[in-house]
Amino acid sequence: MKNSYFGDFIKGFWKENPVLVLLLGTCPTLALTSNAANGAGMGAATTFVLIGSNLVISLIAGFTPKKIRIPVYIVVIAAFVTVVDLLLKAYAPPALYDALGIFIPLIVVNCIVLGRAEAFASKNGMFRSVLDGAGMGIGFTIALTLIGIVREFLCSGSAFGIKLIPAWEVDFLLPGAAPGAFIIVGVILALKSFFNRRSAIKKGKLYVPPQGIDCRNCRICRIDDR
C-alpha cells in the first residue's frame, strides 16, 4: 500500500487529511465554512489549483535551481490561482463568486498547496503528483464541507441552504461567526484524535501520529540542508 498509486490518491481523504490531520490551510478552513456550499466551492477551487500546480512542479522540479525553487513554485501556483479566478468569474454562479471572490487570491498562500509542492511533487513523478494533488484536494473539500455542514446546521438548522428543521426561525449566530469556527474546528479535531486513540488502544497499540507528515519531514523552513 505504501507506494501504490491508489495509496497516493486515497491517503489525503482521511489518513493524511490536510485539514484534520496535517492541520494545514487553517485560514480558509475557518473563514469559508460558514455554510456548506461555500466550503465545497472553496474545496473545489483549491483542488483544481493543487492538481495543476503539482503537475507542473513535478515536471520542472528536476531542473529548477534549489536556491530559487520556492519563488518558482509560488509563480506556478499564483498562475493557477489566477486561472481559477478568471474561470470562476466567467462561468460560476454569481452568488458563489461573491462569497468566494476575496478568498480565491488567498489560495496562493494556502500552505497545503506549497506544502504538497515541496513535500511531494518536487520528489515524485508526474502521475503520482497529480494523484496526490487530487487526493489532497478532495480531502480538503471533504473537511471543509463537513465543517460547513456542522456550522450551518448549528447556526440555522439548515444544510446547503435547505432548512432541515422548518420551525427553526431565529439564527444562532455563534457557529457562523469566527469564534464559533475556532470552537467547532477544535471540537472536530479533538473528537477525531479521541476516536483514533481509542481504536488504537483497543487494538493494543500505542497511538502515534501518522508517519512522515510532521515538521521533521518538511523542509520548507530549512532551505539549505537539503
**Binding residues for another protein, per CB under 8 A?**
34-35, 60, 62-68, 71-72, 75-76, 78-79, 82-83, 86-87, 89-91, 94, 98, 155-156, 158, 161-164, 166, 171, 173, 176-177
Measured CA to CA, the distance from residue 12 to residue 156 in angstroms comes to: 30
Asked if residue 113 lies in contact with residue 121, where contact means CB atoms within 8 angstroms, the answer is no
Measured CA to CA, the distance from residue 191 to residue 20 in angstroms comes to: 10
Asked if residue 17 lies in contact with residue 192, where contact means CB atoms within 8 angstroms, the answer is no
Grid cell at residue 123: 520528489
Give the other-Cβ count within 10 Å of 125's Cβ: 11
Nearer CB in complex with another protein: 67/216: 67
Nearer CB in complex with another protein: 130/142: 130
Distances (CA, A) of 38 to 64, 104, 187: 36, 12, 21
Measured CA to CA, the distance from residue 148 to residue 58 in angstroms comes to: 32
Q: Min. distance of Cβ 168 from another protein in angstroms?
A: 9
Q: Min. distance of Cβ 55 from another protein in angstroms?
A: 13
Q: Min. distance of Cβ 176 from another protein in angstroms?
A: 5
Nearer CB in complex with another protein: 23/31: 31
Nearer CB in complex with another protein: 88/119: 88
Q: Min. distance of Cβ 162 from another protein in angstroms?
A: 5
